[in-house]
Structure 1
Amino acid sequence: MSDHILVPYDGSEPAESALEYAFENFSDADVTALYVLSVPEGYWGAFEGADDEISDEARKRGESVLEEATAVAKEHDIDDFETELASGTPDHEIVARVEEEAYDTVVIGSHGREGVSRILLGSVAENVVRRAPVPVMVVR
């Protein structure tokens, strides 16, 4: 039995499906939706915070997405629901949260990329599956 579920949530249809799956299949668990503000790595990462307006816009977007997640929770009559906002590389931040906090399972949506686009763009879900120290459920 999983007691604490982490659901990475970006407002996409697969993320909403993952959140609903967590509510429906882990009804006794505490569920947390995590939105990660993507921060560029390498050269561009050195300029993080250089444009606070963009950072504020990104934060507002993240808060708005998490409000959508809260609305989904209310639709499922879930009162005990948490949201978190983080910044970094999404797959790294998700795995770091799992390692640092007491999550038992990750339920993540898959964007269903296939073929060349999956190879070129990579996959947050795939990286989380490979690196997370807890079970990961990928919902399509």
Structure 2
Amino acid sequence: MTQTILVPMDYSELSKEALRTTLSLHPDAEVVVLHVIDWHASDMGPGGWGSTPHDWDDWLDEAHEHADGLFEEARDIAAEYDVEITTETTVGEDAQSIVSYAEEHDVDLIVMGSHGRSIPARILLGSVAETVVRRAPVPVLVVR
């Protein structure tokens, strides 16, 4: 039976390390790299996208382009281990989106970095990893 492992990735080194850890510990698993586009964590919050709906569309298109770059980097890391990965993008709040994905896609394990935000942002917004650990329907391995 193939194990499905979800690796949420942002632009932090710890999320890349979580992917490396996954690939080294579980070389035969199906690995899904998930990037959450979270407007809460953006500097362009509600009302900050300008005066037209096109401003939101432009912001979202740019966020997807950044995600494509992140996925290219993830594929390069996976190639070092001679493994292919699946990539997914979703728009929403980080922790809730990760938990929802795990619930909806029969994930067996979540492997994630302990933090991706700066210390002030973690204090103000809370730790995504901590929330996922508390709410996930499956075991969570947190990489530090």
Fold shared, TM-score > 0.5 on shorter chain: yes
Task: Give the Cα–Cα distance (whole angstroms) in 1 for the partners of residues 141 and 31 of structure 2.
Answer: 14
Task: Give the Cα–Cα distance (whole angstroms) in 1 for the partners of residues 117 and 59 of structure 2.
Answer: 28
Task: Give the Cα–Cα distance (whole angstroms) in 1 for the partners of residues 63 and 9 of structure 2.
Answer: 15
Q: Name the TM-score, length of structure 2 as normaliser.
A: 0.84
The alpha-carbon deviation at position 18 of structure 1 amounts to 0.3
Corresponding letter in the other structure for 1:9 = M
Instruction: Give the one of 93, 100, 110 matched to 1:96.
Output: 100
The total of aligned residue pairs comes to: 138
Task: Give the Cα–Cα distance (whole angstroms) in 2 for the partners of residues 62 and 115 of structure 1.
Answer: 23
DSSP-derived class of the 1:44 partner: coil
Runs of 4+ in 1 over 2 A off after TM superposition: 111-121
Task: Give the Cα–Cα distance (whole angstroms) in 2 for the partners of residues 126 and 2 of structure 1.
Answer: 27
Alpha carbons 2:15, 2:116 under 8 Å: kept = no
The root-mean-square deviation of aligned C-alpha atoms, in Å, is 2.8
Name the counterpart of 1:125: 129
Alpha carbons 1:2, 1:26 under 8 Å: kept = no
The answer as to 2:65 corresponding to 1:60 is yes
Q: Structure 1: 5+ residue runs without aligned partners?
A: none
Corresponding letter in the other structure for 1:121 = L
Q: 1:71-106, CA deviations, whole angstroms, 9 ceiling, x for partnerless residues?
A: 110111113x10111110011100000111110000
Name the counterpart of 1:28: 28
Corresponding letter in the other structure for 1:133 = P
Percent of aligned positions that are identical: 46
Q: Structure 2: 5+ residue runs without aligned partners?
A: none
Q: 1:12-44, CA deviations, whole angstroms, 9 ceiling, x for partnerless residues?
A: 100001000000111111101000111339x82
DSSP-derived class of the 1:15 partner: helix
Q: Name the TM-score, length of structure 1 as normaliser.
A: 0.86
Task: Give the Cα–Cα distance (whole angstroms) in 1 for the partners of residues 101 and 129 of structure 2.
Answer: 15
The alpha-carbon deviation at position 138 of structure 1 amounts to 0.2
Name the counterpart of 1:38: 38
Alpha carbons 2:10, 2:116 under 8 Å: kept = no
